[in-house]
C-alpha cells in the first residue's frame, strides 16, 4: 500500500513545524495544490496526515473508535489541565457517558434559566468595568478580545458554573484561570512536561481549582448554599452504566474541562463578530434594527430576550454562522491512528492509481476551516457576508444539502448539517462533536445583542486585524474597536 505523499522539508525532525505553526491554513491550501487532499507533514518528529475537504473531514471525524483515538492525541495536553479520570484520561466509552451527563446541564429548561441571568451580568460590566454609559458615552477605544473574554467568563460563571463561582470571580480565580491557560498552549501540546515555571503553575492551579469546586459541592451538601440550576447540580448524582457514580473529584475535573472548552472559543468568536460589525456599518445597522424590531419598546428601551427568542433571529444567527465559517476557533482536530486507514480513491491525488493507506502511529488531522473557506465550495469565500445564509423567510437548504447537490454553498439559515461529511463543521462532527453549541449560540446572541443595543462600534484601525495562530485557539491580533454609547 502507498502511504500519502510527504510534504517537502529541509530539516528532518523539525519538518514543517515553522510554516504550519505560523499559518496553518496557508500551509494547508498550498499543500493541497501540490499534493491533493491527503498528505503527510512532519511536525517535531510526528507524522501528521492531513485529510481535507468534506470527505477528508469524514475520514477523520467519522472514523471508527477502533481506528482513530482522540484521547491518544490529546491526553498529554489536557489531563494536566483538567485533572485525572475524565475526558481524555479515561476510555472513550466513559467520555461518551460524561457527555450525556453534561447534557443534563444544557436542557431547554437550564438554557431558559441561563438566558434570564446573562443580561444583568452584561449591564453590570458595562457600567462598572467598561464605564461607557449614556452619562459618559465615550467614544472609547478598547481591546475587544479583553472585553469579550471578561463578558464571556462573567456570563458563563453566573450560569453554567453556578452562583458560588460567580461570587468568587476574584483576582485569585482569574489568576488560576490564567495559569491554566498558560499550560494549554502549542508548547504544552508538543512537550507535555518541561521543567519550566509555567508547567509548575499549571499543576498548582489545577489542584487549587479542583479543590475549589469540591468545596462548593461539600457546602451544598450541608445546605449552606442556595443556587439556581447549574452544571454542578446536573452532574451530581450521575452514575455510569456499570453502577459507578461520578465522584466530586470527577465533577470538579469536568467543570475545569468545560471552562477550558467554552471560554476561549466563545470569547474569540464574539471578538471576531464585533470586529466585523465595526468594519461593516451596514450589517451593524441591520443587526441593531433586528433588535429593535423584535424587542424594542415604544420608549426606546428593549425587553429582555428569552432562550426561545434567541433562536428566532435570522440576522444574528447568520452573523454567528458566518463568523464561525471564517474564524473556526479550532483550526486542526487531531486523532492518533490506531489501525491503518484506507483512503478512498476519490480522495487520493487524481494522478495516483493506487489508494493511499495512512499507517498506524500517524496522526490524522481534520481542518474543517479549509472546506469552510474553500473558493471551490463557497461563493466569494474570503468575504464575511452573513447575508449569504439568508433566503426569503429565512429557511434554506443546509450547507451540506447544497454541497451534496453539487451547488455552490451560499445560504442555509437554521439548518446546518451535523453529518461527518460536510463542508461546514465549526463544532466538529461525529462522536467527539461539541455539545456546547447551543450554550455558545445563546451566550453569543445575548452578549453581542446587549453590546449592539447599547453601543455603536467603529473600527479603530483601517486594516482588519490579522490572525494569531500561536495560541490553541485562533485569535485576532491587536483587535481594537471604538465603543460609543447609543443615546
Ligand atoms: C468538542 C468547537 C463551545 C464543550 C468540540 C469540538 C469542536 C468544538 C471543533 C470537536 C473537537 C474534536 O473533535 O476533537 C467549539 C466552538 C465553540 C465551542 C467553535 C464556541 C463557539 C463549547 C462550549 C462548551 C463546549 C461553550 C461547554 C459548555 C465541548 C465538549 C466537547 C467539545 C464537551 C467534546 C469533546 C470530545 O468529545 O472529545 N467543540 N466549542 N464547547 N466541546 Fe466545544
Q: Which long-range contacts (CB under 8 A, 24 or more apart) does 289-294 make?
A: 290/314, 290/315, 290/316, 291/449, 291/452, 291/453
Task: Please report the atom of ligand 1 found closest to the CA of residue 425.
Answer: 9
With 70 as the cut, is the pLDDT of residue 175 above it?
yes
pLDDT digits (tens, 9 = 90+) for 366-419: 999 999 999 998 889 999 999 888 765 454 555 555 665 666 554 433 334 546
| Mean predicted confidence (pLDDT) in 234-250 | 95
| Mean predicted confidence (pLDDT) in 298-315 | 93
The pLDDT score that the predictor gives to residue 163 is 86
Distance of CA 247 to the CA centre of its chain: 27
- Give, using CA atoms, the residue closest to atom 2 of ligand 1: 427
With 60 as the cut, is the pLDDT of residue 90 above it?
yes
Alpha helices for 104-185 (secondary structure H): 108-125, 144-156, 163-167, 171-181
Quote the ligand 1 centre to 435 CA distance (angstroms): 6
Quote the ligand 1 centre to 244 CA distance (angstroms): 25
Place of cell 468545560: 258
User: Exposure pattern of 58-93 as b/e (b: 16+ CB <10 Å)?
Assistant: bbbbbbeeebbbbbebbbbbbbbbbbebbbbbbeee
Task: Please report the atom of ligand 1 found closest to the CA of residue 95.
Answer: 37
- Give, using CA atoms, the residue closest to atom 36 of ligand 1: 432
Q: How confident is the model at residue 52 (pLDDT cuts 50, 70, 90)?
A: very high
Task: Please report the atom of ligand 1 found closest to the CA of residue 432.
Answer: 37
Q: What are phi and psi of 251, to 5 degrees?
A: -65, -45
- Would the pTM count as exceeding 0.80? yes
With 60 as the cut, is the pLDDT of residue 281 above it?
yes
Quote the ligand 1 centre to 143 CA distance (angstroms): 25
Pocket probe for ligand 1: among 261, 370, 418, 432, the residue whose CB has the most ligand atoms within 8 Å is 261
Question: What letter does residue 398 receive in the DSSP assignment?
Answer: -
The pLDDT score that the predictor gives to residue 352 is 60
Quote the ligand 1 centre to 434 CA distance (angstroms): 4
Q: How confident is the model at residue 355 (pLDDT cuts 50, 70, 90)?
A: confident
With 60 as the cut, is the pLDDT of residue 350 above it?
no
Q: Which three cell numbers stand for residue 300?
A: 426606546
The pLDDT score that the predictor gives to residue 463 is 95
The pLDDT score that the predictor gives to residue 261 is 94
Question: How far is Cα 477 from Cα 468, in angstroms, rounded to an integer?
Answer: 5
Q: Which three cell numbers stand for residue 7?
A: 510534504
Question: How far is Cα 76 from Cα 152, in angstroms, rounded to an integer?
Answer: 27
Quote the ligand 1 centre to 445 CA distance (angstroms): 18
With 80 as the cut, is the pLDDT of residue 170 above it?
no
Q: Worst-scoring range by mean pLDDT, 61-65, 107-111, 201-205, 389-393?
A: 389-393
Pocket probe for ligand 1: among 56, 87, 151, 265, the residue whose CB has the most ligand atoms within 8 Å is 265
Task: Say how many residues make up the chain.
Answer: 487
- Give, using CA atoms, the residue closest to atom 28 of ligand 1: 436
Among 413, 326, 406, which residue's Cα sits nearest to residue 374?
326
Pocket probe for ligand 1: among 102, 428, 443, 475, the residue whose CB has the most ligand atoms within 8 Å is 428
Percentage of the chain beyond pLDDT 70 is 92
Quote the ligand 1 centre to 54 CA distance (angstroms): 19
pLDDT digits (tens, 9 = 90+) for 452-468: 999 999 999 999 999 99
Question: How far is Cα 119 from Cα 98, in angstroms, rounded to an integer?
Answer: 30
The pLDDT score that the predictor gives to residue 372 is 94
Q: Which three cell numbers stand for residue 479?
A: 483587535
Task: Please report the atom of ligand 1 found closest to the CA of residue 99.
Answer: 33
Question: How far is Cα 246 from Cα 87, in angstroms, rounded to an integer?
Answer: 13
- Give, using CA atoms, the residue closest to atom 4 of ligand 1: 436
Instruction: Specify the higher pLDDT residue, 388 or 10.
Output: 10
- Give, using CA atoms, the residue closest to atom 24 of ligand 1: 436
pLDDT digits (tens, 9 = 90+) for 245-267: 999 999 999 999 999 999 999 99
Question: Ligand 1: residues whose CB is within 6 Å?
Answer: 70, 95, 99, 102, 258, 261-262, 265-266, 269, 324, 329-330, 333, 426-428, 432, 434-436, 439-440
pLDDT digits (tens, 9 = 90+) for 186-234: 899 989 889 999 999 999 999 999 999 999 999 988 887 777 788 999 9
Instruction: Specify the higher pLDDT residue, 353 or 395.
Output: 353
Q: Worst-scoring range by mean pLDDT, 280-289, 309-318, 343-352, 367-376?
A: 343-352
Quote the ligand 1 centre to 305 CA distance (angstroms): 25
Question: How far is Cα 86 from Cα 101, in angstroms, rounded to an integer?
Answer: 12
**What does pLDDT average to over the chain?**
91
Q: Worst-scoring range by mean pLDDT, 167-176, 421-430, 461-470?
A: 167-176
- Give, using CA atoms, the residue closest to atom 31 of ligand 1: 434
The pLDDT score that the predictor gives to residue 310 is 92
Above 0.90 for ipTM, yes or no? yes
| Mean predicted confidence (pLDDT) in 137-147 | 95
**Dihedral, 256, 261, 267, 273 alpha carbons, nearest 10:** -160
Quote the ligand 1 centre to 76 CA distance (angstroms): 18
The pLDDT score that the predictor gives to residue 87 is 98
3-state secondary structure of 308: helix
The pLDDT score that the predictor gives to residue 394 is 52
Quote the ligand 1 centre to 315 CA distance (angstroms): 24
In contact, 38 and 58? CB cutoff 8 Å: no
| Mean predicted confidence (pLDDT) in 337-347 | 90
The pLDDT score that the predictor gives to residue 412 is 38
Amino acid at each position: 500500500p502507498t502511504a500519502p505523499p510527504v510534504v517537502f522539508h529541509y530539516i528532518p525532525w523539525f519538518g514543517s513545524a515553522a510554516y504550519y505553526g505560523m499559518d496553518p491554513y496557508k500551509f494547508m491550501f498550498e499543500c493541497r495544490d501540490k499534493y491533493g487532499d491527503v498528505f503527510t507533514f512532519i511536525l517535531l518528529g510526528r507524522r501528521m496526515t492531513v485529510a481535507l475537504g468534506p470527505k477528508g473531514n469524514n475520514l477523520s471525524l467519522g472514523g471508527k473508535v477502533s481506528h482513530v483515538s482522540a484521547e491518544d492525541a490529546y491526553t498529554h495536553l489536557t489531563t494536566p489541565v483538567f485533572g485525572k479520570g475524565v475526558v481524555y484520561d479515561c476510555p472513550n466509552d466513559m467520555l461518551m457517558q460524561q457527555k450525556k451527563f453534561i447534557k443534563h446541564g444544557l436542557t431547554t429548561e437550564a438554557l431558559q434559566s441561563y438566558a434570564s441571568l446573562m443580561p444583568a451580568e452584561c449591564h453590570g460590566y458595562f457600567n462598572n468595568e467598561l464605564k461607557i454609559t449614556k452619562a459618559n458615552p465615550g467614544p472609547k477605544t478598547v481591546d475587544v478580545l479583553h472585553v469579550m473574554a471578561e463578558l464571556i467568563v462573567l456570563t458563563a460563571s453566573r450560569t453554567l458554573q453556578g452562583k458560588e463561582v460567580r461570587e468568587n470571580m476574584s483576582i485569585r480565580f482569574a489568576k488560576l484561570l490564567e495559569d491554566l491557560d498558560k499550560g494549554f498552549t502549542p508548547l504544552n501540546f508538543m512537550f507535555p512536561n518541561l521543567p519550566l515555571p509555567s508547567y509548575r503553575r499549571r499543576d498548582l492551579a489545577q489542584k487549587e481549582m479542583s479543590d475549589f469546586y469540591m468545596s462548593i459541592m461539600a457546602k451544598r451538601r450541608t445546605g449552606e448554599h442556595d443556587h439556581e440550576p447549574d452544571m454542578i447540580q446536573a452532574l451530581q448524582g450521575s452514575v455510569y452504566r456499570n453502577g459507578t457514580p461520578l465522584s466530586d473529584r470527577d465533577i470538579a475535573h469536568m467543570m475545569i474541562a468545560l471552562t477550558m472548552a467554552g471560554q476561549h472559543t466563545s470569547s474569540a468568536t464574539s471578538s471576531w463578530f464585533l470586529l466585523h460589525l465595526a468594519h461593516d456599518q451596514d450589517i451593524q445597522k441591520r443587526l441593531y434594527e433586528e433588535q429593535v424590531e423584535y424587542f424594542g419598546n415604544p420608549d426606546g428601551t428593549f425587553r429582555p430576550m428569552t432562550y426561545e427568542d434567541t433562536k428566532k433571529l435570522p440576522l444574528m444567527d447568520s452573523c454567528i454562522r458566518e463568523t464561525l465559517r471564517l474564524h473556526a476557533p479550532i483550526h486542526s482536530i487531531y486523532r492518533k491512528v490506531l489501525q491503518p486507514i484506507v483512503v478512498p480513491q476519490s480522495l487520493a491525488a487524481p494522478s495516483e492509481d493506487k489508494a493511499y493507506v495512512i499507517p498506524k502511529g500517524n496522526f490524522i488531522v481534520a481542518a474543517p476551516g479549509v472546506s469552510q473557506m474553500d473558493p471551490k465550495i463557497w461563493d466569494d469565500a474570503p468575504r464575511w457576508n452573513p447575508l449569504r445564509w439568508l433566503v426569503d423567510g429565512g429557511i434554506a437548504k443546509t450547507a451540506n444539502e447544497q454541497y451534496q447537490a453539487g451547488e455552490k454553498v451560499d445560504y442555509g439559515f437554521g439548518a446546518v448539517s451535523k453529518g461527518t461529511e460536510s463542508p461546514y463543521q465549526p463544532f466538529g462532527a461525529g462522536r467527539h462533536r461539541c455539545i456546547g453549541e447551543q450554550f455558545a449560540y445563546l451566550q453569543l446572541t445575548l452578549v453581542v445583542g446587549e453590546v449592539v443595543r447599547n453601543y455603536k462600534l467603529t473600527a479603530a484601525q483601517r486594516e482588519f486585524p490579522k490572525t494569531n495562530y500561536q495560541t490553541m485557539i485562533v485569535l485576532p491580533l491587536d483587535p481594537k474597536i471604538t465603543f460609543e454609547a447609543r443615546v
